[in-house]
Amino acid sequence: MTNPKIGVIGIPGKWSTEVLADAVEARTGYRLVIDMAKVALDLGSGAIRFKGQDLGELDALIVKKIGGEYSPNTLDRLELLRMAEARGVKVFSGADNILRLINRLSCTISLRKAGIPMPETLVTEDVDQALEAVREYGEAVFKPLYSTKARGMCVIKADQPKRELRRDIEAFRRHNPMMYLQRKIVLPGRDLGMVFLAGRYLGTYARVSQNDTWNTTIHSGGRYAAYEPPESMIELARRAQAPFGMDFTTVDVAETAQGPVIFEVSAFGGFRGALEGPGIDAAAAYTDHVLALL
C-alpha cells in the first residue's frame, strides 16, 4: 500500500503517543493523533468523526492509549473502534483483543484458564470474605479492576484490630464494589516488563524501586533498567500473552522464591521502559509491523 493513512489513538502531547505518531509520519508522511474524548459516532451514516476527519476513511488505527485512566468509560470508547473495524479499518491491536485486557478481572480469568502462575488472588463483593483473606495473607494488595501504574491500589495489613481492618476494607469497597485482592509479594527491588510484538519476544526491562514504596512503578519513583531473563521466564511470558492475540504488549512478571508469577498482560505496552531499559525502539518496530500487514 502506497502512503497509507494511519491514525494514532492516544493522548495528545504525551511522550509515547507522540513518538508513535513520529514513527508513523516518518514512514508515511501522514500524521493524525486522535483523542477519543473528541470522537463522535453517527450511527445513521456510520461516520466516526474527529476534527472533520472520518476515521472510517483511514487505512489503519494504532491504539497507544484509549484514555488517561482505565475505567468502564474506556470500554465505551473501544466500542467506537469496533465500528471502524466494521467499515474495513485495520485496528492495532483489535478492539475485541484490547477489551479483554482493560478489565483486570477479565485478564486474570483468562490467565488462570491458561494455567499461568499468578499471586494468590481473591475476588469478592463480601467484606467478611475479604477480611478473612487478608488475615490469611498477612498483607494484601487491593487493586481496582480498572487502573494503570498502580493508581488506586493500596496495601491492607492483618496486624491491626479487626474493627480497623474492616474499616480499611470498607473504605476500598466504597469505590470498588467488586474487590480484587492479592497476597502481597516480596519483590527483589524490581519487577519486569517483557515486550512482545505480535507474539515475538523483543526484550525485557526492569522497573527498579528507588525508595521504600511497596511497588516499583515509575509513577512511584522507580526507574527502568535492562534485564536478561532466563529462557524459561521468556517462555512463561510468551504463554501468558498468547491467549490475547495482541499486536504489541508487555507482560508484567515478578520473581518470587517459588518461581516467576505473572501480574498482568498490558493492553498497550510500555514504550518508555522498552527504550530506556533494553534500548528497543518500540514505536518504530510497531509501525513497521503495521505497515507490513497493510
DSSP string across 65-119:
-S-SS--HHHHHHHHHHHHHHHTT-EEES-HHHHHHHHSHHHHHHHHHHTT----
> Is residue 62 located within the same domain as residue 145?
no
Q: How many domains does the chain have?
A: 3
Which of 92, 112, 130 is the endpoint of a domain? 92
Mean pLDDT across the chain, nearest whole number? 92
pLDDT at 68: 76
> Is residue 191 located within the same domain as residue 176?
no
pLDDT at 209: 77
> Is residue 200 located within the same domain as residue 155?
no
Weakest mean pLDDT among 92-101, 116-125, 131-140: 92-101
Residue 221 has pLDDT above 90, yes or no: no
Integer Cα distance of 247 and 61 in angstroms: 12
> Is residue 195 located within the same domain as residue 142?
no
Domain membership flag for residue 70: yes
Those residues with Cβ within 8 angstroms of residue 243's Cβ, 6 or more apart along the chain or in another chain: 110, 111, 113, 114
Domain membership flag for residue 166: yes
Residue 217 has pLDDT above 60, yes or no: no
What percentage of the chain's residues is helix, strand, coil (to nearest 5)?
A: 40, 25, 35
Residues of the domain holding 208: 186-286
CATH of the domain at 250: 3.30.470.20
Cβ atoms within 10 Å, residue 186: 10
Residue 243 has pLDDT above 70, yes or no: yes
Domain membership flag for residue 114: no
Which of 129, 151, 183 is the endpoint of a domain? 183
pLDDT at 1: 66
Q: Is the pTM of the predicted complex or chain greater than 0.85?
A: yes
Residue 127 has pLDDT above 80, yes or no: yes
> What is the pLDDT averaged over residues 78-92?
95
pLDDT at 80: 93
Q: Which three cell numbers stand for residue 48?
A: 466516526
Those residues with Cβ within 8 angstroms of residue 14's Cβ, 6 or more apart along the chain or in another chain: 65
Integer Cα distance of 133 and 131 in angstroms: 5
> What is the pLDDT averaged over residues 86-100?
94
Weakest mean pLDDT among 120-129, 183-192, 209-218: 209-218
Integer Cα distance of 70 and 103 in angstroms: 8
> What is the pLDDT averaged over residues 13-19?
96
> Is residue 179 located within the same domain as residue 202?
no
